[in-house]
Every structure is written in C-alpha cells, then in structure tokens.
Amino acid sequence: MTDAITPDPGGSLRSESPPGDSETPDLRDTATMAPDDRGCPDDGFTLRDEPSRSLIAIRRDFGKYELINELGRGGMGVVYKARQKDLDRVVALKMILSSHLASRDQVARFYAEARAAARMRDPNIVGIYEVGEHGGQHFFTMEYVAGKSLAQVIRGVPMGIEEASRLVMIVARAVDSLHKQGMIHRDLKPSNILLDEAGNPSVSDFGLAKLLESEERVTASNAIVGTPGYMAPEQAAGRGGQVGPASDLYSLGAILFECLTGRPPYDGSAPLETLVRVLEGEPPQPRQLNPTIPRPLEKICLKCLEKDPGDRYASARDLADDLDHFLRGEPVEATRGGPWHRLRRWARREPALASRLGTMAACGIIIYLNHSLIAYTQSASLRSFVVVVNWAMASFLCQHLLQRPRWADLGRYVWSATDVVLFSLLVYVNQGLNTAMVSGYFLIVSASGLWFRERMVWLTTLLSVAGYAALAIGQGLPEGYDSPYRHFVFASALAASGFVVSYQVRRVRALSCYYDPRPLP
C-alpha cells in the first residue's frame, strides 16, 4: 500500500498512510503538525493554530465531498483527504481553520494560493480542481498524489547521480513553466516535490507563491517567507523587491545539493542560525560530502547557489538544459569564477578560519611596521611572529575538527580557548598591558557570539578575564598608576561585554526555539 502525499496547509507537505481496508474511515483529530526532520516548521515562520476539535469530528459530509481523514494542518489551513461524490474521485481538500474567525488578510492569502495553483498548466505541477465556499467555510480541492515526497525518499541518504540529475532537471522544467506563466514559487524544497508511484516528480504547495505582475502584497514586502535552509539570500534578508525567478533557481540548487549529499546546503542548529549562514556563509563543496559527485555536476549545483542572483543561471530552462548536457556526457555551461571569486567563496565557506587569518595578517603587518625600525624591539617582533604562526597553525587544526561532526563541538571550545591563550601571549610579548592591543579582548568576546552558543560566550569571557588578570599580575602596575583601579574597571567592562553578548545570543536562541520545538544544544 503506498503512502499518500498532499500539500501541507502551513506551507509544506505531509505524508499520511491511507486508511486500512476497514469500511470505517479514520477520523482522527490531529491537533498539531509534527516538525520536519530538521526541526523547523515546514511553513518557515507560520504560527500554529491548535483548535480543540477538528471539523471532521463534527460532520463527515462537506457539500459534495465526503471527508475521509485529516492529513495535516498549519497556522492557517487544514487539509483533508476527501472523496468527491459526484465524480467518485479522491481529492485533497484544503480549508481555512475557523473561517468565521479568519481575518480578511487570511482569506485573501488563502484565495491567492488557490488562484496561484489554479492558473498552473503543466504535467509536473499539482493541479487544482475547484475553489469555493460551503457553509461559510472557504475551501479548494486539488489533485491527491499517491506516493512519497522527495524529502521522504532522501532521508539523509544521497540519491544516485543520474537519478538526482534527471529528477531536478524535470522539476526545473516545471519551474520554468511556472515562471513563464508569471509565477514564482518562493518555497521550493524536497518536501514540496511529490513523487508518484512511477517516481515522476510534481511541484506542489503554492502557499507562498507570488504573481510577478501583481502589485498586491498579501504579506509585507519585507517579510521573510519560506523555509530557511532552502531560501535564497535575498529572500532570507527580506528584500522582497529582489525576489524573483532567480530565487527559485537558488532553491533548485539547494534541492540538487541535498539529493547529491543527503543534507541541505545550510543546516544550522536553529532556523535563525541557518538564516545567518544563508546570508553570510557559503555551502560546503558537494564533493567533500560525497566524493562520487562528478565535478561538472558540482559546478552546476554551486552555480545555482551563488549569492548574487546575477551569477546564477539566467532561467530554470538553462539549468535544465545544463543538467541534460551533463546526462548526455556533453560539456556543461556552468563555470567557476576567477581566483578572487574562489577566494571570496572560500572565505564565506570558512568564515571562522578566514576571519582569524585576516586578523593575524593585520597583526603581523602592524607588528612589523611598529618594530622594524627599532633595534631593541626586533627580538620582540620575532617572538610575535612565532606566536602568530602558531596561532594560524592552531586555527587550521581547529577548522579540521569542525569538519568532523563527532569532534565539531569540542573543536569550537578548543578554538575559543586557543584564541584567548595565544592572544594573551601575543600581548605579553608586545609590551604587555602598555599596548592598545589589549583592547582585542573585547573583539574576541564579541566574536564568540557568532557561534550562537551561550556557554561558548561565557567560556571566552572567563578565559579573557583570566588572561588579562594573568598579564596584570605578571607585569604589575603600569607606570603612572598607583592603584589597581584601572585593572578592575577593564576586567569589569570585559565581563559586562560578555554578559551583553550572552544575553543577545540567548534572545536569538529563544526566538529560534519559538519557531523550532527541538531542544537547543
């Protein structure tokens, strides 16, 4: 018996096994929808509505439809498996939760989704049958697809190279058809790609779709809509005016990435952390995660995931054509940029290492300019360079640990501790607390917040205070000071900065927990 897949009312897809052979339909009242495998609600940032009773528990007949069982619900709508009695066919019926209480904007968004889906004409796009109202309940019905979603097929395991390429090629042609009909999807992801029993894909769920020529804005133009791991940077930044067909191309690249590697390109521990990675980071090289991926296919994938929309394919058809060239063994059009472009991509992909190496290079230049013409400080300059070189080597080793999932958390803590220890040593060999370089402690504490872990901030703060205290004790009072008041003020300010950074991290994590029910690490 196959699984049944229907669009998720909250902006994703859910799988529900059909009722058994019993004549009595399964009339379960599902109060909430489970999060997806990564813990993020599939509708991105839609709040969940949890009514005490389901409509199906009240009545089974809904006009000319017989409600069979509830498939899922989200913040605005609920989807039922239903039988259309006059045509004797199974459909997916979606309606607004508590229509008599629904706001005008909710009803407008509901009908915008129905109109968006209804205007689509493509064999690989889930079709819509009817839009209407019954007993004050707004609804529309759509094709009921028996099979599995692409997310269920992947489940953390890479697909075959040809299978993944062919599937994304078909989806890209469907998306190109959608674009030609004046529509952008804005929420393409594996759970919105339905596979029938023969493995043919269909694009579904137009809850966040947008008419290209429409001036209406059901949601705010600067609102972040979509699913964090699959949305384009311009979409994640809330720049609604820049969201267009190229944004869907980015999502297609993210889908291809997951098909090839078994994981999305960005998979933070919380949705807001994922958004930051989408905006500022760079996905890992697919071949690092799956060495069997051919280089031409990796180029195609990375071209779709470019930060600048102008660097992606010009259209979804161009992407489909390039995938077709790859499958035929022909040269692909995807090209990588020059050395500067590759350097920028590496820096975004490894921001922790790149930022540290950049800081060390700046420190090296300053130390050289400061000491090169002063003979009695040349030995201090040499010692400084030794510290910087060892710091760089330690950073490379810590970066290596981060790339090993088993050692990633340990690598972060070791890296933070190493930064404080070696920076304290660098200050010590450069005139100690008499140099303005000591203010770098504040930079280290602030940078620790980029790990999005409160304990990491406190560890870095405590080590920084301890490092400063060790320098103060070892050096004694600086010339011109007759009390330890200066040290007390500096250490207190350092601790206060750690408290502020930790508090901000806690707020971000709390917001992420609001959208993501998983326990935070």
Estimate the crossing angle of helix 351-371 against helix 339-349, to 10 degrees: 110
Catalytic residue among 8, 42, 187, 516: 187
Q: Is 94 annotated as a binding residue?
A: yes
The per-type count for the chain, helices as H runs and strands as E runs, is 17, 13
Please state the three-class secondary structure of 369-395 as a single string. Answer: HHHCCCHHHHHHHHHHHHHHHHHHHHH
187 is catalytic: yes
What CA–CA distance (Å, rounded) separates 17 from 379?
74
- At residue 371, φ and ψ (nearest 5 deg) are -115, -15
Question: Got the DSSP string for 251-277?
Answer: HHHHHHHHHHHSS-S---SSHHHHHHH
Strands 4-8 and 145-149: antiparallel
- Contacts of 66-69 with CB under 8 Å at 24 or more apart are 67/25, 67/93, 68/19, 68/25, 68/26, 69/16, 69/19, 69/25, 69/26, 69/27, 69/28
Report CA dihedral (228, 233, 238, 240) to the nearest 10 degrees.
Answer: -120
Check: CB of residue 428 under 8 Å from CB of residue 383.
no
What CA–CA distance (Å, rounded) separates 167 from 436?
58
What CA–CA distance (Å, rounded) separates 349 from 277?
9
CA-nearest of 338, 275, 336, 273 to 306 is 336
Please state the residue numbers annotated as binding site for ATP. Answer: 94
Residues belonging to the active site: 187
